[in-house]
Structure 1
Amino acid sequence: MRLLNLLKIAFKAIVLNKLRTLLTMLGIIIGVASVIAMLAIGEGSKESIRATISSMGSNMITIRPGTDDRGPARGSGGDVQTLTLEDYEEIKEQASLLSYITPVVNSGGQVINSSNNWPSTIYGVNPDYLNIKVVDLQSGSMFTNAEVKSASKVVLLGQTVVDNVFPDGEEPVGKMIRFNNIPFKVIGVLEKKGENTFGQDQDDVVIAPYTTVQKRILAIDHLNQIMASAVSEDDAPNAVIEVTSILRAQHKLLDSDDDFTVRSMEELISTFSSTSEMLTILLVAVASISLLIGGIGIMNIMYVSVKERTKEIGLRMAVGGKGADILMQFLIEAILISITGGVLGVVLGLGATVFIEKFLSWPTSIAMYSIVISFAVCAVTGIFFGWYPAKKAAALDPITALRYE
């Protein structure tokens, strides 16, 4: 038989049993849709993580005291005191791959304006901070190095703080506020950045000269961390090595463990992306179970089809049909069921992805390879699970088949 005739016969057999065929396809449809949706969520989360971290400064390098990754501190300085202003000065003087660098000290407290107050965190930095964090000013100006040197009581406010301590829409610049009962003059408002992927409000901050926070709020002489920006994103790994070498020499740690941690944003992106990939693989593996169930359903229905059409098979073989033709007939039928289910699954998967992004507000990104892989898996599923029933049909004895009731 020609291939076209085999396709017609297979299509006719499928059409004659619409409901049974649709139920058989369900496993494939759900499996393909799940795989596409899970991969879209995984890719979307990776892109969102990369974009969020890059928005905080793709070239940014953080130096923290201690050897474990403690994350961004929001307390009053912590117990580890291995970073000093001398470390900052040495890095600033010796590092050739850094474009900006700032000490960082921070403390939690209440921002107060008249009867309005808001719990926030004050970060003590120098004027390089805005360039490192890639933050613009909405109004006002950044404090100067002279104001840092004199420990001036001036601050910049994030938009969340402004909204809560100036609820009537009053212009904050030029006004006086208090942080833990210490008066500060507002000289600027930071541009709104919103929440990052980790749910942290990037606008819930107060920025002041690090000398002011050290002397007037914390009464310390060490640093909570040092932040810097590499000359370029490509230079960030070498900048990490350079800073590590400078600090090891400064701390006289040539033959002992480091008492500090240096991290680049690329490392952070890589860490979170790896975690996201592992979760995506796990989700896809779970979703792929539906494809396996769908394949078993195809094998089952093809066995039923062979049994129902045993006489038809015997008749075809009696009038000259070859075993290879019978094999191809049932194999094509299985592949058609599988691929049709795959097409419907792709449509459902794309629809589910749009729904997830629009109504659940989860970041998604549809990868073309997920669609290609889905089609390939469907074809392989049809061949793999349709082969044995088709082979059984091709191996039937024509005389026995004609006598079958």
Structure 2
Amino acid sequence: MFGNEIELLQETYYSIKHNQRRSFLSGFGIAWGILLLAILLGVGSGFQAGIMGLFQSFAQKSLYVYAGTTSQKYESFKEGRRITFSEDFIKTLRLKYTEIDAISPEISTSIPVRNNARDGVFRVTGINADYMHIRILEVGDSGRILTKADIQQTRPVAIVGENVKSILFGEKEALEKYINISGMLYKIVGILKNDNIFSASEINSIYIPVSCFLRNVASDNQFTSFSLYLKQNANASKFENNLRNYMAHYFRFKVKDEQAVYIANLEKQTSTFESFFNWLQGFIWFIGVCFLTSGMVGVSNIMYTVVKERTNEIGIRLAVGATPHSIIRLILLESVLITVISGIVGLIIGKSILLFIDWLLSMHENILMHKTELNMQTALAALSILVLSGIIAGLFPAIKASSIEPADAIRYENRG
């Protein structure tokens, strides 16, 4: 039994070896298709990991609320009314909703900031201690984040971005030094890390206690945005609806008036991105399978040529006792071997290209793509598709070969 199998493999090997150009042309389409599929899937996975990794800079169950201007009439109120928040409203939300784990105002303005002879215009934001956990802002090892005591005692302390530190202090140490904001000196207690694209956007930011901001920087105690973080067992979508309904009642605007208040639900946005990447991965598989199908058609055409070229040989085999089943096996095996070998070559080249892309990515920071990834399951799925395509590509030529009449095949003159 094993002798017959070995003999069959040897015959297939010699057939492929003696027709190298034909075999190469038939396998090129398959190799090209699997190579492109591997690259697209690997780059797609790296891009997905990069985008989803950005959301790690935010608490997953966080919501960001932005006040706007009403666009619809409500009872006796006309449209065009500006909505603003206050600290009392924030405290009311904290008491009303037990789902809230952290909540913070977010009041920003761009103003000049000085340090002796150096100065610059930076975005100064007033926050409370909860905000550092909502945005997951991190500082260098030798610094610290803002605390509840800083807010409660209105301590003039600040956390600054790297660019603020560079402009105001150059190469000198900035921690424990002072900067002048609106005529008041603030002690720098932390310098923000710059290790992803979102933290990179904070290089020109300065964070101070909201109590200091309202007392020394703001012209009034009203603001237009706040953020909050929900407990892990809370339903973010349900809470978003409840919050909108409550604010519509509190500020007297229509619930469907989205211009009055905009709520960014990070969990919902993350889910949207995940759905998009699932669709994208499916689309990549579709494109890859289309390439493989075109290669499979090429293999099938080549195998029809093989059957035509070997008509005399097939006729002699049938005449001396070979069964139609053995002829089918012979043709199918050649088709599958060409397909699988071409596919493995395509996978190896594709993986090599992905490794080269990884090397290029390692030379850059804060890029929207992590290391490319082509996992084992993907490789096995691709090889399974290759085996199936090889069987399909060789099936009809094999059936045609097995149905040749021995006498006609022996008389057949191959003019190709």
User: Normalising by the residue count of structure 2, what TM-score does the alignment of the two structures yield?
Assistant: 0.82
Structure 2 residue 20 is matched with structure 1 residue 18: yes
SS in 2 for 1:187: strand
Q: How does 1:58-69 map to 2 (within 5 A)?
A: 58-66=60-68
Match of 1:262 in 2: 263
Shift of 1:125: 0.8
Shift of 1:119: 5.0
Match of 1:108 in 2: 110
Structure 2 residue 378 is matched with structure 1 residue 390: no
Shift of 1:41: 2.1
Which amino acid letter does the alignment assign opposite residue 226 of structure 1?
F
Quick one: structure 1 residues 256 and 288, their matched pair in 2 at CA, closer, same or farther if it must change by over 3 Å? closer
Structure 2 residue 214 is matched with structure 1 residue 204: no
Instruction: State the distance in 1 between where 2:291 and 2:256 align.
Output: 53
Shift of 1:112: 4.0
Q: Are the counterparts in 2 of residues 194 and 203 from structure 1 also a CA contact under 8 Å?
A: no
Match of 1:73 in 2: none
Q: Are the counterparts in 2 of residues 194 and 202 from structure 1 also a CA contact under 8 Å?
A: no
Which amino acid letter does the alignment assign opposite residue 380 of structure 1?
L
Structure 2 residue 179 is matched with structure 1 residue 171: no
Structure 2 residue 129 is matched with structure 1 residue 127: yes
Which amino acid letter does the alignment assign opposite residue 104 of structure 1?
E
Instruction: State the distance in 2 between where 1:382 and 1:209 align.
Output: 67
Shift of 1:238: 5.2
Q: Are the counterparts in 2 of residues 61 and 228 from structure 1 also a CA contact under 8 Å?
A: yes
Quick one: structure 1 residues 320 and 100, their matched pair in 2 at CA, closer, same or farther if it must change by over 3 Å? same
From 348, 351, 376, give the equivalent of 1:368.
376
Match of 2:411 in 1: 403
Match of 2:274 in 1: 273
Structure 2 residue 320 is matched with structure 1 residue 312: no
SS in 2 for 1:359: helix
Shift of 1:98: 1.6
Quick one: structure 1 residues 241 and 158, their matched pair in 2 at CA, closer, same or farther if it must change by over 3 Å? same
Which amino acid letter does the alignment assign opposite residue 402 of structure 1?
I
Match of 1:158 in 2: 161
Quick one: structure 1 residues 264 and 349, their matched pair in 2 at CA, closer, same or farther if it must change by over 3 Å? same
**For each residue in 1:332-354, what CA deviation from the matched residue of structure 2 results, as whole angstroms up to 9, or x when unmatched?**
11111111112222222222222
Shift of 1:298: 0.7
**For each residue in 1:364-385, what CA deviation from the matched residue of structure 2 results, as whole angstroms up to 9, or x when unmatched?**
2223321122011101211222
Q: Are the counterparts in 2 of residues 90 and 246 from structure 1 also a CA contact under 8 Å?
A: no
Q: Which runs of 5 or more structure 1 residues have no equivalent in the other structure?
A: 69-78
Q: How does 1:31-42 map to 2 (within 5 A)?
A: 31-42=33-44
Instruction: State the distance in 2 between where 1:251 and 1:401 align.
Output: 90
Quick one: structure 1 residues 389 and 265, their matched pair in 2 at CA, closer, same or farther if it must change by over 3 Å? same
Aligned pairs, number: 392
Give the stretch that moved more between structures: 327-336 or 256-265.
Answer: 256-265
Which amino acid letter does the alignment assign opposite residue 377 of structure 2?
Y
Structure 2 residue 331 is matched with structure 1 residue 323: no
Which amino acid letter does the alignment assign opposite residue 338 of structure 1?
T
Quick one: structure 1 residues 351 and 141, their matched pair in 2 at CA, closer, same or farther if it must change by over 3 Å? closer
SS in 2 for 1:320: coil
From 72, 87, 90, give the equivalent of 2:89.
87
User: Normalising by the residue count of structure 1, what TM-score does the alignment of the two structures yield?
Assistant: 0.84
Give the stretch that moved more between structures: 373-382 or 14-23.
Answer: 14-23
**For each residue in 1:155-179, what CA deviation from the matched residue of structure 2 results, as whole angstroms up to 9, or x when unmatched?**
211223213322222334232245x
Instruction: State the distance in 2 between where 1:159 and 1:285 align.
Output: 45
Quick one: structure 1 residues 110 and 14, their matched pair in 2 at CA, closer, same or farther if it must change by over 3 Å? farther
Instruction: State the distance in 2 between where 1:293 and 1:351 align.
Output: 24
Q: Are the counterparts in 2 of residues 125 and 209 from structure 1 also a CA contact under 8 Å?
A: yes
User: Percent same amino acid among aligned pairs?
Assistant: 24
Shift of 1:233: 6.7
Match of 1:295 in 2: 296
Match of 2:30 in 1: 28
Which amino acid letter does the alignment assign opposite residue 208 of structure 1?
I
Instruction: State the distance in 2 between where 1:19 and 1:119 align.
Output: 68
Which amino acid letter does the alignment assign opposite residue 30 of structure 2?
I
Q: Are the counterparts in 2 of residues 26 and 294 from structure 1 also a CA contact under 8 Å?
A: yes
Q: Which runs of 5 or more structure 2 residues have no equivalent in the other structure?
A: 71-80, 363-368
Match of 1:185 in 2: 186
SS in 2 for 1:165: helix
Structure 2 residue 247 is matched with structure 1 residue 247: yes
Match of 1:230 in 2: 230
